[in-house]
A and B are shown apart, each in its own frame.
Chain A
């Protein structure tokens, strides 16, 4: 398993291939379309993230001291953003997830194309993933 940092670096390098926002958008949509759908049993209100303009459901579980995420949204673009986060964070140890700064989000220039409300949605997703990790971390201690 790669470290969070290495996975972030890979995404940054992928995005360096794109000059235009249009290409980044298309790439993120592509990721969203390929994201494994979340089982219906997890698409419940308890799993909904507050603070997102679009509906986002996030499910987390642990396996061998690692935390795994699955998620879904009614927006394919948001699913693409989630796919990036899942790619980096899913399968990582809780303490790594809690402490990472996720600098790649800024480095790939995602936030600069977003209104504040949308950026807040992305921040809410990251926060929820970290909260899950924090919860699991304390459970195992």
Chain B
């Protein structure tokens, strides 16, 4: 059977799509084709309902009240930490910290573990395909401490040049932070290999799972990463909530990130003692509604056949790459062998933004630009790409529409040479 056969998938997309009400929306009067999943995923009705249900029926502040509603909300909130533990396969729910998203998780670790352990002359190692959120916090830390930020380079296909790693990890390396799956290229990085090599020298590794969490099954014990972070909104959950996983022994030695309620054990004007992990890192009233809805998103993902769903996404990727690459004037950006369902491309002599707007007029939502990964664009010497990112609820017919309209966009936008 051809690898581009659209009937290869046994995954029941039509059934799954019914769970996502937004997929019935129209854009500019045309049926919405949502291919901006790497920016944020759409939400199943159960997640939307969970938020409304919480505010309608048991909104209360948690962990403090003695009353019925507070107990109910506290229980629902606390359950989610166990769900995340199960979802990431961490050893303990104490290793799960609720944050606003991956960006906050990286900032938290850079500001606590980083500040405590990185000193003048030390090195922090990242990769050439980091999102700005996994560059800037480390840059700020390195500037403050007089440390050096080093980068694992990538090749023209958008794969890390792993042969450089042994020269880049030195006695001065204090932490390595790597993106699991690139948001702009789709490359799935060999994080396990990096972790093994880092641990051989006693260096902890932070894995940015913003993209990988929805496109793979994560097992932090199997990966043996020291930190892992994901954003809820990229994996069917609401915005404003995400998780940081950290090995308990590391979290315990880290100083607090923010001060406030919940994170303390006892407070006097002379001295405050801090609560234990994970509460030490969760100052203030948490984002209760969104935590509860995140739990429902995790339930949704864990109840579906993820092997089938991921296989479907992979078929969409292969199908799109195959058909887009056949169009004259299309150049695929990011052709790593191991890729998640993200297709980035540029069009010859056509501005990515103009093409993105063309697709938008047809109801197709893509993203254009540098995707918050300017160093990748500099490395590949392009101003930006058009990016279509798929999730399991996307269909081959939608990819057909993309391919068709990309070809039409080229014809329409081609410069009229005098």
Same complex origin of A and B: yes
Q: List chain B positions with a Cβ less than 8 A from chain A.
A: 28-29, 351, 353-354, 357-358, 361-362, 369, 383, 412-413, 415-416
Of the residues B28, B353, B416, contact of A22 by C-beta under 8 Å = B28
11 A/B residue pairs, CB under 8 Å, sorted by A: A25-B357, A53-B353, A53-B369, A54-B353, A75-B351, A75-B353, A76-B413, A77-B351, A77-B353, A77-B354, A78-B353
Q: Please state if B28 and A20 are interface contacts (CB–CB under 8 Å).
A: yes
Interface residues on A, range: 10 to 19
Q: Which of chain A's residues have a CB closer than 8 A to the CB of B412?
A: 26, 29
Report the minimum CB–CB distance from A40 to chain B (whole Å): 16
CB distance from A29 to the nearest CB of B (A): 7
- Cβ contact of B351, chosen from A20, A25, A54, cutoff 8 A: A54
Q: Which residues of A contact B354 (CB under 8 A)?
A: 29, 75-77
State whether B29 touches A20 (Cβ < 8 A): yes
In the complex, chain B residues whose CB is within 8 Å of the CB of A75:
351, 353-354
Given A22-B28, A29-B358, A75-B351, 14 extra CB contacts under 8 A:
A20-B28, A20-B29, A21-B28, A21-B361, A25-B358, A25-B361, A26-B412, A53-B353, A53-B369, A74-B383, A75-B353, A75-B354, A76-B354, A77-B353
Complex contact B351–A76 (CB within 8 A): yes
> Separation in Å of the B316 CB from the closest CB of chain A?
26
A-B contacts, CB under 8 A, total = 37
Residues of A within 8 A of B28 (CB): 20-22
Complex: A76 Cα to B353 Cα, angstroms: 9
A128 beta carbon closer than 8 Å to chain B: no
A137 at the binding interface (Cβ < 8 Å) = no
Contact in complex: B413, A22 (CB < 8 Å)? no
Q: How far is the CA of A48 from the CA of B42 in the complex (A)?
A: 38
Any chain B CB within 8 A of the CB of A33? Answer: yes
How distant is the Cα of A71 from the Cα of B354 in the complex, in angstroms?
Answer: 17
Cα–Cα distance between A74 and B369 once the two chains are bound (Å): 13
Q: Is the interface of A mostly helix, strand, loop or mixed?
A: helix
Interface string of A20-54 (1 = CB under 8 A from B): 11100110010001000000000000000000011
Report how far A94 CA is from B412 CA in the complex, Å. Answer: 37
Lowest 5 CB-CB distances: which A-B pairs, in order?
A: A22-B361, A75-B351, A77-B354, A25-B361, A76-B354
CB distance from A61 to the nearest CB of B (A): 24
Chain A nearest Cβ from B296, distance in angstroms: 29
Shortest Cβ distance from B363 into A: residue:
A22
Give every chain A residue within 8 A of B351 (Cβ-Cβ).
Answer: 54, 74-77
Most buried by A among B362, B412, B415: B412
Contacts of A29 in B (CB 8 A): 354, 358, 412-413
Residue of B nearest to A54 (CB): B353
- Chain A residues with Cβ below 8 Å from B358 are 25, 29
Chain B nearest Cβ from A109, distance in angstroms: 12
Flag if B353 contacts A33 (CB, 8 Å). Answer: no
Closest to B362 in A: A22
Measured CB to CB, the closest approach of chain B to A83, in angstroms, equals: 14
CA distance A10 to B361 in the complex (A): 24
Chain B residue at smallest Cβ distance from A37: B418
- Taken together as a complex, chains A and B put the C-alpha atoms of A103 and B361 apart, in Å, by 24
Bound-complex Cα distance A20 to B413 (A)? 19
Taken together as a complex, chains A and B put the C-alpha atoms of A101 and B211 apart, in Å, by 44
Closest to B30 in A: A22
Residue of B28, B351, B412, B415 with most chain A CB atoms under a 10 A cut-off? B351
| Nearest Cβ on chain A to B169's Cβ, whole angstroms | 38
Most buried by B among A20, A74, A75, A76: A76
- Cβ contacts under 8 Å, B29 to chain A: 20
Query: Which residues of chain B are near A22, meaning CB under 8 Å?
Result: 28, 361-362
B348 CB to nearest chain A CB (Å): 14
Determine the distance from Cα of A25 to Cα of B357 in the docked complex, in whole angstroms: 8
Cα distance, A75 to B383, chains bound together (Å): 12
Shortest distance between the CB of B18 and any CB in chain A (Å): 29
Residues in A whose Cβ lies below 8 Å from that of B413: 29, 76
